[in-house]
Amino acid sequence: MATRRHAVGLLVLCAVLWSTGGILIKWLPGPAFAIAGVRSAIAAVVLLLALREWPGRWSWWLGSGALAGAASMLGFVVATKLTTAANAIFLVYTAPLYVALLSPWVLHEPIRRGDWLTLLLALLGLGCFCVEQLTLTGWVGNVCALGSGLATAWLVVCLRKAAAAPLPILVLANLLVAIAGLPFLDVARLAPVHWGILLVAGVGQLGVSTVLYGKAIPHVRAIEAIVLPIIEPVLNPLWVWLLVGEVPSGWALLGGTMVLGAVTARGLTLVWHTPRASMGTPHGMTGASTHGRRWDDTDDTGHAQYEGDA
């Protein structure tokens, strides 16, 4: 249970670190693709330093997860260029819905009523948060944002499938983003202060947070791994308010409160109402497929330890 509590705490910390990305990127000149490429290149180095061993063989989950991770990051960058930030945030964060639909079939992980309630409240909160800037224009950007959300969902599913060693997927995803983004880099436009900001973004905002996410993912269900960090987009304006002085609107405050409230309540429920059995991975998960296996809801004696609707 202590490990599970730590995992929930790590997911919240990841969301806090990820939420600083917006304000850091605002301080950087140049194409968003180039910024994403440099940041991911630095993050890949951090991940490689944290990686203990590489998988002995390639797998479908490793390859498709890496492609999904890269598509998730690049799709969001393109979406923010072609549609409003509100559209991009709202559509990308439909990812938990796809995870909820995929988990019972692919991972054999149960989705409980508490999960659906949290997801509903969080999506309603995001809707309020973004309502003033949502628009039907920029359909190409909207499609990219939806694609990014789908890719994010598949990434989380692949990370759970490879729960014994999730970091290689994240290393490859960042390397692919670096390969795609670095050709757009104009070194002449970057002053020493910009390189310093890129270093902070690559090491702290993306690198360290991704390592922590990889450590948390074996100890939570996929739906928890995607729902708890959903506080990220509502924390972003907090940094803008504190550092730039841009005050959030009433709708943004209402939506942010709904999201934070729903995720906080769910997080506390997960911490304090955990079965005695290890909730880390489904039965038999060692990085390979868990076909035919079911999620462990038994205690140490093998008796069912049902969580109810928590």
The residue assigned the tokens 């489904």 is: 282
pLDDT tens, 240-268? 777 766 666 777 677 777 877 777 777 77
108 three-state secondary structure: coil
Q: How far is CA 78 from the centre of its chain?
A: 18
pLDDT band at 280; cut points 50, 70, 90 = very low
pLDDT tens, 218-246? 999 999 898 888 888 778 777 777 776 66
* Rounded distance between C-alpha atoms, residue 42 and residue 199, angstroms: 7
* Ranges of each domain in the chain: 2-272
Closest CA to 93 of 56, 55, 124: 124
* Rounded distance between C-alpha atoms, residue 179 and residue 172, angstroms: 10
Q: What percent of the chain has pLDDT over 70?
A: 80
Q: Of 34-38, 181-185, 302-306, which gets the smallest average pLDDT?
A: 302-306
177 three-state secondary structure: helix
pLDDT tens, 66-107? 999 999 999 888 887 777 766 777 788 888 889 998 999 999
- pLDDT, position 137: 67
